[in-house]
Homo-oligomer: A and B are copies of this chain.
Amino acid sequence: MLANLNANQTIGKHIYKDELKPLQDRLAALQQRVRAAGLPVLIVFEGWGAAGKGTSIGKLVNPLDPRHFDVLTMGKISDEMLMRPFLWGYWCRIPSKGQITVIDKSWHRIILPEEREKWELNPQVTDNFYQDVNAFERQLTQDGTLLIKLFLHISQPEQARRFKALEEDPSTAWRVKPHDWAQNKNYDAHLKRFEQMLEMTGTELNPWHVVEADDRRYSGLKICRTIVDAIEARLEAPAGKAAAPAGNAREERASFPKVLAGVKADQYIENAEYKEELDFYQTRMNRFGHKMYVKRRPVIIVYEGWDAAGKGGNIKRLVAELDPRCYTVVPIGPPTPHELGRHYLWRFIRRLPKDGHFTIFDRSWYGRVLIERVESLTPEPVWRRAYDEINEMEQHCSRHGAVILKFWLHIDKDEQLKRFEARMNDPAKQHKITDADWVNRENWDAYEVATDEMFAKTHKPHAPWVVVESNNKKYARIKVLKTVTDALDEALK
């Protein structure tokens, strides 16, 4: 693909001048329309060293109102990024509705050897790199983001010329690094890498635009035209077609194993045994927490379950003996307007643990297929595609080395009523019960259907669901502690 391409397309000075100005005017006008339409636009620049990414971005944003775009320069990867799955830093920076974000060096960088070294990646990650990247891009596009991917292509002699020119000017000499010359010397090997990347990640939904960039005028025009065309096409697409395909929108209402109906919620533990086991497992938790820190393995724990099932008290016992500098408990409520401006996974992914740390989510991304489904807060095709999105996200974390456990705290309907009433009658606990709890209770059956489907679709070996019988809170606490410490023990082997 690249090999057959003539990087040296040229264009005359006058044609350039005549064509550029109207394109820039169109782009400036489009920026206003993008804001008005609430369209998130993500423009990715990749390409050879010295292919002119910086200059091209400069020309591109020149006509834009500088208050309403972002340019992300990811030249140096921050240590915050290096301590998390490699897509994390990009997820955190996706544009909100109406925003234009330009990225200079994106997640595709990982195909370069000098980048891989920095990240110290698991083989699992590199082996599945293209799958994770394509899932990420598809998720953004399905959510309505316009993703425009540009690859700037220059020839070997042109690249050498540019490196030399940079080196000869004392004010720019520092920009040429040893790995730049290595790229030029091993041009053919890199060409193969780039071609593979273009092929593997150039999907129908998110194709690459290769820009011949030996001539700066030619590439400048082509970049500008590509972007203007893409934005115009999206803004002018008929409403129905504007959104990307919605995934498994038309899936049959299948029937799933009735897991919850079969659970005996009233498992029991004696008080004396409870005290002994609590002490045993909390000590174990402390020791393993410490070891996970030393081994730099992150842990993600999700709590879901019926209202009043005892999540708060359960979490408290789980972390009681953990070093408080190593864990965070994240309570999840309804999304804020700020959070609604982006893909629904954004607010969870931002909170993922650093290597060696625990994050415990008190409710989670599963709200998408539980409350949002049951209360029709989200259209069916959208929550349906969340099963894939969730699986892909957890898979990505797992490949990075995360231990993932998901608990469903289960009580039966009678027990819930008893607890609701106890809360109503205790002034110190009245704040813990709200109208929403009673509404959820009325939807019990619908939640049971949604939960069973969730189990069927998102229970994975690397991110299992564990139903915790919680009529007896003490039993439930021990079961969670035992499950978590067993999983850590296994992970530490």
Contacts and interface: CB of A to CB of B under 8 A. Distances in A.
Interface of A: 54, 57-58, 61-62, 65-68, 70-71, 73, 76, 78-80, 102, 104, 171, 174, 287, 290-291, 294, 312, 315-316, 319-321, 323-331, 336, 338, 360, 362
A214 B206 CA distance: 63
B62 A320 contact: yes
A291 B171 contact: yes
A325 B67 contact: no
A315 B61 CA distance: 13
A65 B311 CA distance: 11
Contact of A294 (B54, B79, B174): B174
B331 A67 contact: yes
A3 to B, nearest CB: 30
Given A66-B316, A336-B338, A57 B324 contact: yes
A328 B171 CA distance: 23
Of the candidates A73, A174, A287, A327, the one having the most CB atoms from chain B within 10 angstroms of its own CB is A73
B174 A54 contact: no
Contacts of A291: 171
A312 B171 contact: no
Contacts of A316: 65-66
B171 A58 contact: no
Contacts of A65: 312, 316
Contact of A67 (B76, B312, B326): B312
27 contacts: A57-B324, A58-B321, A58-B323, A58-B324, A61-B324, A62-B320, A65-B316, A66-B327, A66-B329, A66-B360, A67-B315, A67-B329, A67-B331, A68-B331, A71-B325, A73-B326, A76-B79, A78-B78, A78-B79, A78-B80, A79-B79, A80-B80, A102-B324, A104-B325, A171-B287, A174-B294, A338-B338
A189 to B, nearest CB: 28
Nearest to A72: B325
A102 B315 CA distance: 19
Contacts of A294: 171, 174
B66 A325 contact: no
B54 A325 contact: yes
A80 B171 CA distance: 25
Nearest to A329: B66
A104 B324 CA distance: 10
A326 B58 CA distance: 10
Pairs A-B, 4 closest by C-beta atoms? A73-B325, A66-B329, A67-B331, A71-B324
A62 B171 CA distance: 56
A291 B171 CA distance: 8
A230 to B, nearest CB: 19
A61 B320 CA distance: 9
A312 B67 CA distance: 8
